[in-house]
Amino acid sequence: MSEYVDSVRAQIAAGDVSSQALVLLFRATEEAEQRRDVPELEETLQLARQIAGAADGTLRSEAERLVALCEEGLERARAGSASANDPSACPGCGRPLPERPVRCRSCGTLLV
């Protein structure tokens, strides 16, 4: 797991969760999605849900938005790993690609 996830886990354990924890989880989610690291994405989703359940006010609404982003990232990573061996599919988003693409039109992944 990443240092971001470890830091958020420590904040949750201490009972002192801040908006910084959400930023760290967002970064962890982005990096894990790029690596198609499904276990880490599942971990970030679980932590985001914990924060959303325990927080109130603005922090809660932001945590709920992060939960939705984590779910989308997890879905894309699962779809991407399923199509990773298909050369006609984007490794970033799994969408079909034209012949000899340089960059995916859908997600912007550089393919060369």
User: pLDDT tens digits for 64-112?
Assistant: 999 999 999 888 888 865 555 556 788 877 788 888 888 888 888 888 7
77 falls within a domain: yes
Q: What is the pLDDT of residues 22-49, one digit of tens each?
A: 999 999 998 888 888 899 999 999 999 9
105 falls within a domain: no
| DSSP string for 47-83 | HHHHHHHH--HHHHHHHHHHHHHHHHHHHHHHHHHHS
78 falls within a domain: yes
**What does the H/E/C string look like for 8-47?**
HHHHHHHCCCCHHHHHHHHHHHHHHHHHCCHHHHHHHHHH
pLDDT for the residue 1? 66
32 falls within a domain: yes
The answer to whether residue 16 scores a pLDDT higher than 90 is: no
57 falls within a domain: yes
88 falls within a domain: no
- Number of independent structural domains in the chain: 1
103 falls within a domain: no
23 falls within a domain: yes
pLDDT for the residue 93? 79
Instruction: Look up the domain containing 41 and give its range.
Output: 3-82
pLDDT for the residue 33? 86
